[in-house]
Structure 1
Amino acid sequence: MTTWKIDAAHSEIEFKVKHLMITNVTGHFGEYDATLTTSKDDFTDANISFEANVNSVSTKNTQRDEHLKGEDFFDAANHPKISFQSTEVKKKDADSFVLKGDLTIRGTTKPVELNVEYAGVTVDPWGQTKAGFELSGKINRKDFGLTWSATTEAGGLVVSDDVRLILAVQMIKQA
């Protein structure tokens, strides 16, 4: 069995949500950890666990970040972590997979599917073996208890229910 750990310095964990239904607001988590274990070189039997610190959320707007950490959204005081545990990896072709797993946000766990593009394995200048992956998917925030909403004067939503997940992940093979 081979274990891989996330290289947080070379990875990005982002989400995008429509604001006023006309533009996207991008947020990211600055503190997170992930472990991948596999016995196959093609990662088809991978077991992946991921955890993000809710208090590390950033949208480049302090007031919005505090609102996201509060009871209207993530409720970081009571639910400080977002977690994911894989349940299945399904290979579509040489470089594409569907990753299924259980995502837990705000104490609610739901199954999700993420599309995965495998970028390959390489050895960095310091002798570390690294694997790269791009993951994407979509969740409905209300499925996880993030139900805060407001409408504009014209009746439009301030924040959409759909949240796009975009992860660029570099994993380091452990000795």
Structure 2
Amino acid sequence: MTSPMESVPNLSALAGSWTLDPSRTSITLHTKALWLLPVNGTFQAVEGAGTVGADGSVTGMLVVDATSVNTENTKRDQHLRSADFFDVQKYPTIVFTAPEARPADTGDLHLDGDLTVHGQTHPLTIPAHVVAAQDTATVTAEVHLDRSNWGLTYTKKGSRLATHVVINAHFIKS
């Protein structure tokens, strides 16, 4: 068993089934508009689960409700939900499936999986840090995405296609 708040590069110590705690999880987006203006947002509805085998093998999934995007600007949020961006009428969810995790040189992990956004699925490796305490685990990760890879190509002059995503996911052992 892991000691309180121990960093866990050896996943076999976490063997079992895990359920995401949405109330303690955040997925945050950061980008820039008009060259300088920061645009920050969060997804307020997310579900997920994972399994860690005794051998340290990993399977997992995060499902984000794309309609829950919130930038604290109603007009912008409606635009993000429109066909120009997430098109939530057709594609209400964003899904990351991770059938594999492997050690990184830093002692952290690489989550190898597929990200489905806007109906398009592409492989994605997310560097992640895992901290565990008894029957809870926190996975923190940051990734830079070019949203045009997923068909999100709408832009105005000065807007960026790159988006920085920060994930802070809390799991409870089932």
Give TM-score, length-normalised by structure 2: 0.86
Contact 1:95 / 1:118 at 8 angstroms: preserved in 2? no
Correspondence 1:3-82 to 2 at 5 A: 3-40=17-54, 44-82=56-94
What is the alpha-carbon root mean square deviation over aligned residues? 1.6
Q: Which residue of 2 aligns with 1:118?
A: 130
Q: Is residue 131 of structure 1 aligned with residue 140 of structure 2? A: no
Q: Is residue 106 of structure 1 aligned with residue 118 of structure 2? A: yes
* Equivalent in 128, 146, 149 of residue 152 of structure 2: 146
Shift of 1:23: 3.5
Which structure 1 segments of 5+ residues have no match? 124-128, 152-156
Which structure 2 segments of 5+ residues have no match? 1-14
Q: Which residue of 2 aligns with 1:173?
A: 173
Contact 2:20 / 2:47 at 8 angstroms: preserved in 1? yes
In the TM superposition, structure 1's runs of 4+ consecutive aligned residues that sit over 3 Å from their partners are none
Shift of 1:144: 0.7
Bigger mean CA offset, 1-10 vs 30-39: 1-10
Distance in 2 (alpha carbons) for counterparts of 1:132 and 1:167:
10
Distance in 2 (alpha carbons) for counterparts of 1:59 and 1:45:
36
Distance in 1 (alpha carbons) for counterparts of 2:54 and 2:29:
30
Distance in 2 (alpha carbons) for counterparts of 1:167 and 1:115:
11
Aligned residues: 160
Shift of 1:93: 5.1
Distance in 2 (alpha carbons) for counterparts of 1:17 and 1:133:
22
Bigger mean CA offset, 62-71 vs 93-102: 93-102
Contact 1:14 / 1:26 at 8 angstroms: preserved in 2? yes
Contact 1:112 / 1:139 at 8 angstroms: preserved in 2? no
